[in-house]
Amino acid sequence: MNDLTSLVDWSRAQFALTAMYHWLFVPLTLGLSVIVAIMESIYFKTRDPRWLATTKFWMTIFGINFAMGVATGIILEFEFGTNWSNYSWFVGDIFGAPLAIEGLLAFFMEATFIAVMFFGWKKVSPRFHLASTWLTAVGASLSALWILVANSWMQYPVGMEFNPHEMRNVMDDFWALVLSPVAINKFFHSVLSGWTLAGVFVIGVSAWLLLKKRNVAMAVRSIKVAGWIGLAGIVATLGTGDGSAKVVSEVQPMKLAAMEGLYKGSCGQSIVAAGILNPDKQIGDDQDPYLIDISIPYGLSVLAEGDPDAFIPGVEDLLNGISLTPQGDTIRGISYAERIERGKAAHEALRRFDIAKAAGDESAMLLAHADLKKDFDYFGYGYFDSVEEAVPDIPMTFYAFHIMVILGGYFLLFYIVVLLLAYKKRGFLEGNKWWQLLAMISIPLVWICSEAGWVVAEVGRQPWVIEGLMPARAAISSIPTSSVITTFTLFAIIFTGLLVAEINIMLKYISRKSKENID
């Protein structure tokens, strides 16, 4: 068991390392592609060479970032086969479909038009070049769509049926995957958060130009475009975040409880705006879960259910299968102990089916299949030996969620102030050193906010690789832990090198171009 735990932990760590490095590049690609397309649209309409120079400046930065994102993304997909082969076998027919569409349609579309975007100046008409820039932006978002559809299915598995003859799941409704509420919310939330991130990046770099008093007019133009795109992005991100909370409440209530550090729920449940968890708190004891907390009355009930009197279950309520009516009456559902029992019964039914199939006993196969279908909803719980195994890392999920929310509120205020200053007090932008430094500091903060969102999404659903169906311990490949540790170390070195290289290339490019007159 210790060896298995070590393999699971290292495999998870390696995948998390790759995913988090990859996500450093992706949101900037998503947002910067739109900003560049808008800048080129302004140039196309005005034919002002200053807008052409501005477009090319940010387009080059986009290209540097795009190349790095592709490198890490390819490795991420290979890891499903190398480290998570049981997962790939169990649901490959379903999970592979959106990834194949992403590679064959969206990525090729993106790659084709990005070539025209960078090398088509004076070789194609201005109209066709502008169309290529926009199609690159659309391709980037479509690429994100199919990857997020695949990820959303892992959070909320729908559109499938288990085939006991093949011992794996097969797709039976493609559109159920694509149009699931989790997929729709995750797509808009992730893509529009990329607009937010790219907007802060452009404003922060422009603030540096203002600090150095280089290409001031270009910096102000860039701030205005990025400000509007970023404001649209953060408003929409907050809106889709609200929708995501309602979906999570419905399909992943344990994640919601972890996000709030909620052990025992209630009707009219408050929401913790900020707080510090009690590190000594354990499931089942009577200790207060928080050392310090600032709560908003009824907030979580409104956020999750849209009803101030709604019952929101905590971790212990979910484990015990307990909910309450608005009148305070207890309703007993299926506890996690019962889910584990029924999951093990499903495993046993599957074993009986396999034995009967080998013996050619059709009647025994039918009986075993009927028993399997009866308990298959709890199949994943059969891998657990205790209910505590089904609880995610509460502190990490709680703090990541609150960091994301607090920084999200900060960036909403940030964009409003930036746009007001850009249009009302331009001299303040150009001459105020403290504002310029704040804008520059906001660049790493927006990446922290973005990464925190993915920590909530992925750590909050642990121990599941597929929610309710397959935990991480059942999904890994049978490979030596030492091999995973070795590749983890190599990837950490390579990815860090790529990140340092990207930052270095960007800084050198920005510094060199800033010395040219491109106003």
**Residue 108, both tokens:** 């090729």
* Cβ-count burial 53-85 (b if 16+ within 10 Å, e if not): bbbbbbbbbbebbbebbeebbebebebbebbbb
Q: Which of 22, 20, 16, 33 is CA-nearest to residue 142? A: 33
Q: List the domain boundaries for the chain.
A: 2-252+392-514, 260-329, 336-387
Q: Tell me what pLDDT residue 328 has.
A: 58
- What does the DSSP 8-state code read for residue 208? H
Indicate the helix (H) or strand (E) that contains 251.
helix 216-251
Residue given tokens 């430094």 in the structure block = 437
Indicate the helix (H) or strand (E) that contains 416.
helix 394-424
Q: Which of 90, 75, 102 is CA-nearest to residue 14? A: 75
Q: Tell me what pLDDT residue 91 has.
A: 85
CB 60 within 8 A of CB 509: yes
Report the alpha-carbon distance of residue 423 to residue 430 in Å, rounded: 12
Report the alpha-carbon distance of residue 292 to residue 277 in Å, rounded: 7
CB 393 within 8 A of CB 258: yes
Residue given tokens 């900003």 in the structure block = 35
Q: Tell me what pLDDT residue 34 has.
A: 96
Main-chain dihedrals φ then ψ at residue 117, nearest 5 degrees: -60, -40
Q: Is 377 exposed, middle or buried (0-12, 13-18, 19+ CB in 10 A)?
A: middle
Helix, strand, coil distribution of the chain in percent, nearest 5? 75, 5, 20
Which residues, given as ranges, of the chain have pLDDT below 50? none
Report the alpha-carbon distance of residue 454 to residue 148 in Å, rounded: 12
CB 372 within 8 A of CB 164: yes
CB 31 within 8 A of CB 194: yes
Main-chain dihedrals φ then ψ at residue 109, nearest 5 degrees: -60, -45
CB 36 within 8 A of CB 59: yes
**Which residue spans within 342-489 are E strands per DSSP?**
464-466, 470-471
Q: How far is CA 414 from CA 193, 225, 366, 388, 417, in A?
A: 15, 15, 62, 41, 5
The sign of the dihedral angle between the CA atoms of 473, 479, 481, 484 is negative
Q: Tell me what pLDDT residue 324 has.
A: 63
Neighbours of 441 (CB within 10 A): 11
CB 63 within 8 A of CB 140: no
- Looking from the CA of 110 toward its CB, the CA atoms found within 13 Å total 24
Q: Is 92 exposed, middle or buried (0-12, 13-18, 19+ CB in 10 A)?
A: middle
In tens, the pLDDT along 115-157 reads 899 898 989 999 999 999 999 999 999 988 998 999 999 999 9
Q: Please list the residues that pair with 290 across neighbouring strands.
A: 277
Query: Rounded to an integer, what is the distance from CA 249 to the centroid of its chain?
Result: 17
